[in-house]
Amino acid sequence: MNSLLNESDWRNELDWLDSQNATMLQLVESLANINSGTFNLDGLKKVTNYLTAEFSKLDGDLAILESRPQLSINSTGKPEEQTLGDIIHISKRSDAKKKILLCIHMDTVYSKDHPFQKCQWLENGYLNGPGVADAKGGLIVMLYALLAFEKSPLAKNLGWEVLINPDEEIGSPGSVHLINEIAHRCTAGLLFEPALPDGTLVSWRKGSGNFTFVAKGRSAHSGREFENGRNAIVAMAKLMDAIDQLNSTPDITYNVGNFQGGGALNVVPDLAIGRVNVRIKTVEQQRQVEQQFAELVSRANQSDGISIDVHGQFSSPPKPISQGVIKLQHRINECAKILEKQISWRGTGGASDGNKFAAAGLPNIDTLGPLGGDIHSMDEYLIPESLAPSAKLVALILLSFANEN
């Protein structure tokens, strides 16, 4: 397939990208200096405006779409709706026979009042800043790869869709419906989470699910009528311990991550909430966990005066190495050869929107962003000189698809 791309098919486009690294870096720095924590709607709006101006250069059909609200269980055990930011969707040559999805998120894990707000340069020449790698660098790599691709006469053969969502860091509850829709219209997906610091790309990913357990008991005065109380905290503690005991292999992990309940010490508590994150490698394991939870809850509900509900799901199913992924890996390895690079691949326990696209049937590679590390921490950094090379690899991938028709 590589042999189908002649040097004349890519030389000008890649040379142009080589000249753009400094501009790309400036854009990443400006973007990272705007806080866009998932729940900072004002910040997300600013980033949306900034990106809309930049991505308009692609001359596609650009639309700003509303997210669906996030549904969650609040600290009183009741369902709650949370408004999320807007989504940017761009489509070009939507009637093309073959279309590629390009996707990355604009939100970060750093809230408006987090101490990590601005970029600074490190002594080793790396850029330290909120979201520089995850995923503001990825946004700019995606943009420049497309700008380069659109300069090529081959571009007319290939359609593409861009999805920039505002809620990936909380599992994309407000944009997953679009992920499912787009997956069915495209033949492959390219996502722009950061590559590992040494350039390794991610092949498979574990699936992830968040579950909230709500226990209701009966309150009573702890002195006057203790015997009439039914203690929800104790029931929940037993359930959480039973869930923790399920940990027996690194393939499936159960993390009891949050526990709420109780008030005054002279009251038998009638409400407790336990929250658990589960990671699995296969769909069979997903079913197994769902069954385990159903059984544990039904056993706990046999206690007199206690009722427990479970909410939540595996919002990110596991992303295995499918036939489609193997083909994509092969294509990317071939494109890397043109750049005189060799790609290493490995799996990870972390989930991304790539899991959701894969579950909807779209083979994808999801670490095509720039090189960086220590993401989700104040040490997050970007390796600045990786911006143009990452965009070059993606431009070649797009050109190779366009050259096949």
Q: Which stretches of the chain bind Zn ion, using CB under 5 A?
A: 134-135, 193
- For residue 30, give Cα distances in angstroms to 97, 136, 214, 403: 37, 10, 43, 35
Nearest CA among 110, 119, 107, 108 for reference residue 29:
119
d(CA 281, CA 252): 7
Nearer to Zn ion, 13 or 169 (CB): 169
d(CA 332, CA 187): 15
DSSP run (H or E) holding 266 = none
Residue with tokens 């300069």: 151
- For residue 392, give Cα distances in angstroms to 38, 146, 240, 245, 282: 30, 10, 48, 48, 33
Nearer to Zn ion, 86 or 193 (CB): 193
Give least dist CB 392 to Zn ion, A: 22
d(CA 353, CA 359): 10
- Residue with smallest beta-carbon separation from Zn ion: 134
- Residue 336 CA neighbour count, 13 Å, CB half: 16
Give least dist CB 134 to Zn ion, A: 4
Query: By the 8 A CB rule, do 147 and 393 touch?
Result: no
Nearer to Zn ion, 193 or 334 (CB): 193
Give least dist CB 183 to Zn ion, A: 19
Q: Which residues contact 75 (CB under 8 A, 6 or more apart)?
A: 260, 273
Nearer to Zn ion, 114 or 151 (CB): 114
Nearer to Zn ion, 88 or 268 (CB): 88
Q: φ and ψ at 135, to 5 degrees?
A: -140, 35
Nearer to Zn ion, 135 or 154 (CB): 135
Give least dist CB 66 to Zn ion, A: 22
Give least dist CB 386 to Zn ion, A: 16
- Token readout for 147 is 């700008």
Nearer to Zn ion, 29 or 168 (CB): 168
Give least dist CB 363 to Zn ion, A: 20
Give least dist CB 116 to Zn ion, A: 15
Nearer to Zn ion, 5 or 179 (CB): 179
Nearer to Zn ion, 161 or 193 (CB): 193
Query: By the 8 A CB rule, do 356 and 165 touch?
Result: no
Nearer to Zn ion, 133 or 328 (CB): 133
Give least dist CB 232 to Zn ion, A: 36
Give least dist CB 372 to Zn ion, A: 11
Other CB atoms within a 10 A radius of the CB of residue 273 amount to 21
Q: Give the three-class secondary structure for 328.
A: helix
* CA pseudo-torsion sign 107, 113, 115, 121: positive
Residue with tokens 């999320």: 84
Chain centroid to CA 328? 20
Give least dist CB 51 to Zn ion, A: 16
d(CA 274, CA 259): 5
Q: Give the three-class secondary structure for 370.
A: coil
d(CA 207, CA 368): 20
